[in-house]
């Protein structure tokens, strides 16, 4: 293949890859087309990699082959994790991607110094700062999600001032290097300081904010890749990184709005810290019920709204929930699933789990539509969701979740809650829902309890 023809093939392949990336994002926005979106993204990435390997500038393929083998050996086991571990696996993916961009930036600096233009050095600095901080921040997020690190925020006086001071110091180092690219002795600080900042950025953030944090870190990783595209003069990297960065940022905005909170509040508000009110009793008494009693009420219902939460994910109860859905629909009961945007540990967590169990996607209802339906629902069944169903968000101005849009399950005629115990959620406050006269608590592991409900509804016959 001649050089000009080879270049043309590469450019056309990049255009096809970028088109598939755009279509992937478009299709991923709907459960009906999400599978197609994943496939489009995978094919686009494969085309991009193959086209890059055709580049005439590649001198040796040995290290590339070694990298592909090592990457596959790491990636395949990561892809085989349990569905409940997908959030922390996603955070690890962000960490690896960000670390790769930081390493490429480091190599480019030492290869080009001191003959680096101010523009390239600026892009390279952005690439390394974002890559380095995203690397350590993503590792911290994965550690919190895996519960090998404390999930509660760790705060101290003047913390925000210290964090911002460290970030400003990294920016000052970058500015100096832009004007003095030959100062190689100062360059390691451009890596170390952002890595320290990444750790300190996540320390004060609680588990309740992890979905937003993950999408924000995804945005940082994408922007880092876009900056790398300017350094390497790669149009594909610029476009793909910009798509990743902008989509992650938009998703973070949407999720922040779903919690009625700003970015600054997510990053600096220490949401998830145990609140003083968590120790105060909520007025009312808790009424519990057995699965047998709950099944009797469900049998008489015409409509049921299921509200899944992280408790369902921990218990891996999604397949039992599908059996429960089948048992109710066979009785002619209208069953829907109310999905809160930030339920679980990552964006779309509940959608992914229910899709894995083959729950019909048209039965998944978004928050606004679900809230308009709740007053007509006979039974709202909450499975492991806590803060996103707390009525205090509507009226208690002293509550840390005040103003956060919730699933208004308390407006249903009867509420049932499957929960292991009465411990508060990530916000550290008790849920007023549990003390309402219309609420019945069914204590136990979600998978076990839902299995018992299925047996009662099917006459002792589970799938």
Same domain, 445 and 313: yes
Mean pLDDT of 157-167: 88
Final residue of a domain: which of 27, 57, 79?
79
Residue 347 has pLDDT above 80, yes or no: no
- For residue 207, tell me if it sits in a domain: yes
Per-residue CA distances from 54 to 6, 21, 63, 292, 318 (Å): 8, 20, 15, 65, 44
Residue 463 lies in a domain: no
Based on the fold, state whether residues 149 and 286 are members of the same structural domain: no
Q: 99 and 243 in one domain?
A: yes
Between helix 349-356 and helix 86-112 the angle, nearest 10°, is: 120
Q: Is residue 164 part of a domain?
A: yes
- Does any domain span residue 366? yes
Q: Is residue 53 part of a domain?
A: yes
Which domain does 99 fall in, by range? 88-273
Distance, in Å, from the CA atom of 91 to the CA atom of 214, rounded to the nearest integer, reads 6
In a domain, 462, yes or no: no
Q: Which residues are catalytic?
A: 387
Residue pLDDT, tens place only, 289-301: 999 999 999 999 9
For the segment 201-229, what is each residue's pLDDT rounded down to a tens digit?
A: 888 877 667 777 888 899 999 999 999 99
| Domain endpoint, select from 79, 99, 134 | 79
In a domain, 93, yes or no: yes
The residue with greater pLDDT, 407 or 283, is 407
When divided into structural domains, the chain yields a total of: 3
Report CA torsion sign: 289, 291, 293, 295: positive
Claim to verify: residue 243 and residue 182 sit in the same structural domain: yes
Segment 356-375, tens digit of pLDDT = 899 998 899 999 999 999 99
Q: Which two tokens stand for residue 163?
A: 């964090």
DSSP character at residue 439: E
Q: Residue 338 carries which DSSP code?
A: E
266 and 139 inside one domain = yes
Q: How many CB atoms lie within 10 A of CB 365?
A: 18
Does residue 260 have a pLDDT over 90? no
Are both 165 and 254 inside the same structural domain?
yes
Domain end point (choices 217, 241, 273): 273
Say what the pLDDT of residue 212 is.
79
Residues 306 and 417 in one domain: yes
């Amino acid at each position: 293949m001649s050089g000009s023809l080879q270049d043309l093939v590469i450019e056309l392949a990049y255009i096809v890859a970028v088109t598939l990336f755009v279509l992937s994002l478009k299709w991923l926005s709907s459960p009906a087309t999400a599978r197609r979106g994943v496939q489009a993204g995978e094919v686009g990435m494969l085309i991009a990699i193959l086209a890059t390997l055709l580049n005439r500038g590649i001198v040796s393929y040995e290290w590339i082959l070694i990298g592909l083998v090592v990457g596959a050996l790491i990636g395949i086991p990561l892809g085989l994790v349990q569905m409940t571990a997908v959030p922390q696996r996603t955070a690890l993916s962000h960490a690896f991607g960000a670390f790769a961009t930081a390493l490429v930036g480091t190599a480019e600096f030492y290869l080009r110094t001191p003959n680096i233009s101010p523009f390239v050095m600026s892009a390279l600095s952005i690439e390394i700062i974002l890559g380095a901080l995203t690397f350590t921040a993503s590792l911290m997020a994965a550690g919190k999600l895996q519960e090998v690190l404390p999930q509660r925020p760790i705060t101290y006086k003047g913390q925000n001032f210290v964090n911002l001071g460290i970030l400003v110091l990294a920016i000052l180092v970058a500015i100096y290097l832009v004007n003095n690219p030959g100062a190689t002795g100062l360059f390691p600080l451009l890596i170390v300081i952002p890595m320290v900042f990444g750790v300190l950025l996540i320390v004060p953030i609680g588990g309740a904010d992890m979905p937003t944090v993950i999408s924000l870190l995804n945005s940082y990783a994408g922007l880092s890749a876009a900056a790398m595209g300017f350094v390497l003069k790669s149009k594909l990297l610029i476009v793909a990184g910009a798509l990743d960065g902008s989509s992650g940022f938009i998703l973070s905005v949407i999720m922040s709005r779903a919690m009625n909170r700003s970015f600054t509040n997510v990053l600096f508000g220490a949401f998830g810290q145990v609140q003083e009110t968590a120790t105060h009793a909520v007025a009312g008494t808790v009424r519990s019920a057995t699965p047998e009693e709950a099944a009797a009420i469900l049998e008489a219902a015409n409509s049921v709204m299921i509200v899944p939460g992280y408790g369902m994910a921990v218990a891996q109860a999604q397949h039992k929930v599908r059996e429960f859905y089948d048992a109710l629909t066979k009785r002619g009961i209208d069953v829907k699933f109310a999905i809160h945007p930030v339920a679980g540990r990552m964006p779309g967590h509940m959608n992914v789990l229910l899709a894995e169990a083959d729950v019909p996607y048209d039965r998944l209802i978004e928050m606004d539509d679900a809230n308009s339906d709740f007053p007509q629902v006979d039974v709202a069944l909450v499975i492991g969701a806590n803060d996103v169903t707390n009525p205090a968000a509507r009226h208690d101005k002293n509550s840390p979740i005040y103003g956060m849009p919730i699933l208004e399950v308390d407006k249903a005629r009867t509420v049932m809650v499957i929960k292991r115990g009465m411990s508060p959620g990530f916000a550290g406050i008790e849920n007023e829902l549990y003390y309402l006269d219309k609420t019945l608590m069914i204590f136990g592991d979600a998978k076990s309890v839902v299995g018992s409900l299925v047996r009662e509804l099917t006459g002792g016959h589970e799938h």
